[in-house]
Structure 1
Amino acid sequence: MNPETMNKTLISISKWGKATGILFIIMGAITALSGAFFFLIGAVPGVLQIISGIFLMRSAREAGQMAEYNSGQSEDLMLENYAKFVKMQGIYLIVSIAVS
């Protein structure tokens, strides 16, 4: 991928990742609160969504840093946080299926 295209992609990941991370956190809070009214265990999917949102926001922040400074360390952190995000989404889906 050429540097110009990569920079545009990183900026897009940064913007959309931050916005989506915030939405994950908001939806997770709503899910946790509504699940807690029924059973304490019902709040677990919401908590997992909140944690996923945090990892996505961290990944987005590193993508922005990478676009701005082209740092190899930012690339490593971005991918590490994205891997955690994907893992948390998998756990969230498993827990949601089990709770449902």
Structure 2
Amino acid sequence: MSPKLPPKKAALYDRIDEILWFDWDPIGCNEYEAARDEYHSYLPQVFSLAIEGSDTYKISNFLHECETINMGLAGNKKRCAAVAVLICSERDKTYP
């Protein structure tokens, strides 16, 4: 659930949350509803990058750093890039 934000920003925040859960999911936990909050700690930063107008490269790099540095995974640059495109696309629909 989004923090207290204006409606358009709240909708984008919620959509980014869904993208991180369904499309990014680097640890493969999205089949377990009990783990639904697994990526919420990354959500505010990704949202900030999106509304600040960051490009797909910057968002992708942030996601990849989360995977490799924060989670200790090998990382998947291709998936991070695809997710960044989705995030920017949602932002651009909301803020054309």
- TM-score under structure 2 length normalisation: 0.39
Pick the structure with more helix per residue: 1
- TM-score under structure 1 length normalisation: 0.38
- Find the structure with the greater CA-based Rg: 1
